[in-house]
Amino acid sequence: MASDGFRPLDEKSLVEYLKATPSLAAKLGNQFDKLEIREVGDGNLNFVYIVIGSSGSFVIKQYFESLKYDFNNVAFLGKESWPMTKERAYFEATTLQDHGRLCPDHVPEVYHFDRNMCLIVAKYCGNVELCRLTEQVVFSDPYKVSEYNHWTTPYLDDDAKAVREDNILKLEVAELKSKFCERAQALIHGDLHTGSVMVTNESTQVIDPEFSFYGPMGFDIGAFIGNLILAYFAQDGHADEGSDRKILGTSSTKSLLLFWDEHKDGPGEAYLPAIYNNPELQLLVKQKYMEDLFHDTLGFGAAKMIRRIVGVAHVEDFESIKEASKRADCERKALNFAKTLLKERRKFQNIGEVVTAIEHLD
Ligand code: ADP
Ligand code: SR1
Ligand code: MG
Ligand code: MG
Ligand code: MG
């Protein structure tokens, strides 16, 4: 240990530090054997660990006197270090505390500050538990035997089995699951099915963002579109109730690009004019982004459709079809379309083509 009391921590010595710090040990219920610890710092300067125990979680940030690159970036090895004051830990801790007093809803609470160790422990802002639930019920359970899964049995027994045995489908779902876990594109709602959108003649409001986190935008857009498509397929089961089958008509890509242009002089730096320095290149880079987003949307939407038919949580559109064989017929059509959409999503250029594909089924 240095004379100033500073000691760099790693994932192992961190546990010893937690054990020796009663307030933090108490947050973890004094249980240290099954701690999940991940270093997640994505900046150049500091080490940030997420610590998740059975009864609590937090982040630990430790500040060093040199760049983080000195420790783990080969390209930086051998170069002279860039000295950085460790006192920045003090400024960060006191600023977080001051801002937190003024604006407690928008600043993570500081649980612990150790000036000698240059270390701050603060509230972990992730939505771990509910993201984990989504990982399980959307991307895992429908593709394996799970006690939570159910479907319209016996009619869909073979269909559910086919989902569990479809390797191409599983490979595509693996890609989507990895995007769900890794792609922090925007603060998304996380459960944007049609039941989360309250519509009256005067207003449209979105409720229930308990699954919100920084994730892929297509997960939200897909959830909504997937639910509209499920509603469409359910209509044969409600034949007596009339059938206006228009499912989707607008071009969301166009409006998003217009919105993008409206904010082109804002603080964002994604596609700098100095790099994308002519109108054609600017358009191409935006179109590429929108194409990826659209294919994410279709993939996530299809995965959400599948989980609503063979997973734990279903939709009222199908559940309210009382006759099981009729319900199963509707669900099978939706399931088969969702499987195709998931596997072949990259062939679609716009939502109009998806609508046409649905309308031309059998
Ligand atoms: P859950 O997380 O259990 O789905 P929600 O927040 O979605 O809970 O609330 C359940 C239902 O309650 C909603 O689908 C909606 O019908 C109704 N509801 C909740 N909040 C509102 C609100 N602010 N205005 C109108 N209805 C609401
Ligand atoms: C146990 S799964 C419950 C589902 O309900 C929520 O609204 C989410 O869609 C979640 O996946
Ligand atoms: Mg930083
Ligand atoms: Mg909810
Ligand atoms: Mg809800």
Residue nearest to atom 23 of ligand 1 (CA): 207
pLDDT per residue as tens digits for the range 190-245? 999 998 888 888 888 888 888 888 899 999 999 999 999 999 999 999 876 555 55
The best mutation among 129, 191, 194, 208 to test binding of ligand 1, ranked by most ligand atoms within 8 Å of the C-beta, falls on 208
Rg for the chain, CA atoms, rounded: 25
Task: Report the nearest atom of ligand 2 relative to the CA of 307.
Answer: 11
11-122: CATH topology is: Phosphorylase Kinase; domain 1 (3.30.200)
Residue nearest to atom 6 of ligand 1 (CA): 208
pLDDT on residue 228: 94
Q: Within 6 Å (CB) of ligand 1, which residues are found? A: 195, 198, 207-208, 210
Percent of the chain with pLDDT over 90: 60
pLDDT on residue 202: 81
Statement: residue 177 has pLDDT above 90? yes
Q: Within 6 Å (CB) of ligand 2, which residues are found? A: 134, 137, 191, 312-313
Q: How confident is the model at residue 67 (pLDDT cuts 50, 70, 90)?
A: low
Cα 207 to averaged position of ligand 1 atoms, centre (Å): 7
Cα 85 to averaged position of ligand 2 atoms, centre (Å): 46
pLDDT per residue as tens digits for the range 43-64? 667 888 999 998 899 999 998 8
Among the residue ranges 20-34, 96-110, 217-231, 247-261, the one predicted with the least confidence is 247-261
- Dist. CA 338–CA 271, nearest whole Å: 34
Q: What is the CB neighbour count within 10 angstroms for residue 30?
A: 12
The amino acid sitting at 171 is: L
Statement: residue 303 has pLDDT above 60? yes
Cα 208 to averaged position of ligand 5 atoms, centre (Å): 5
The vertex-343 CA angle with 338 and 346, nearest 5°, equals 110
Among the residue ranges 78-87, 145-154, 211-220, 312-321, the one predicted with the least confidence is 78-87
pLDDT on residue 251: 47
Task: Report the nearest atom of ligand 1 relative to the CA of 210.
Answer: 2
Alpha helices by DSSP H, listed for the chain, are 11-19, 22-27, 69-72, 88-102, 128-134, 157-164, 167-182, 217-234, 252-262, 279-310, 316-319, 324-344, 351-359
Among the residue ranges 102-111, 182-191, 309-318, the one predicted with the least confidence is 102-111
In the chain, DSSP finds a helix count (H) and a strand count (E) of: 13, 9
User: What's the mean pLDDT when you consider all of the chain?
Assistant: 88
CA 319 to centroid of chain Cα atoms? 27
Kindly state the tokens that stand for 196: 């989360």
The answer to whether the 11-122 and 128-359 domains have the same CATH topology is: no
Domain boundaries defined on the chain: 11-122, 128-359
Strand 197-199 and strand 204-206: the pairing is: antiparallel
Among the residue ranges 56-60, 133-137, 207-211, 348-352, the one predicted with the least confidence is 207-211
Residue nearest to atom 7 of ligand 2 (CA): 191
Statement: residue 2 has pLDDT above 80? no
- Dist. CA 348–CA 61, nearest whole Å: 44
Place of tokens 């660990």: 49
- Dist. CA 345–CA 226, nearest whole Å: 13
Q: 128-359, which class in CATH?
A: alpha beta
Cα 101 to averaged position of ligand 2 atoms, centre (Å): 34
Mean pLDDT of 296-305: 98
Statement: residue 274 has pLDDT above 70? yes
Kindly state the tokens that stand for 89: 């830990």
Q: How confident is the model at residue 108 (pLDDT cuts 50, 70, 90)?
A: confident
Statement: residue 75 has pLDDT above 50? no
